[in-house]
Amino acid sequence: MAGVAGLVLNTFPCTQCGLCCQNVHLAAETRYLDRGDGTCTHYSELTTGCSIYAERPDICRVDRQFALNYAQQYSWQTFVELNLQVCRLLAEQAAVPAQRIRLVDDPDL
């Protein structure tokens, strides 16, 4: 895929889980998008995606963020891995309540 600023980037392997859009309160750069419960005001529960995808802000575009702010520090591959670490942390965080519910519902506890 051709990235911005003439960089050739592989596509970021987003699974479209929507967790980053449901946790915009966690980063100073995206906090302004919080509708009040940590979820972005542009997140659609109906489609589980961004309702303004084509016009989403630069902070939501991983390839643009790389070109604008991180290309001098990291390779694209490293930048992808750093972002994926955040994706995994969000997935682990999201799994905790489900685990707790299962434990509480366990009649043996």
Q: Which residues bind ligand SF4 (CB under 6 A)?
A: 14-21, 24, 30, 33, 40, 42-43, 50, 52, 56-57, 60, 87, 90
Beta carbon of residue 31, minimum distance to ligand SF4 (angstroms, whole number): 11
Query: With the CA atoms of 68, 70, 71 and 74 taken in that order, what torsion angle do they form, in degrees rounded to the nearest 10?
Result: -170
Q: Cβ closer to ligand SF4: 16 or 78?
A: 16
Q: Cβ closer to ligand SF4: 34 or 71?
A: 34
Contact between residue 90 and residue 25 where contact means Cβ atoms under 8 Å apart: no
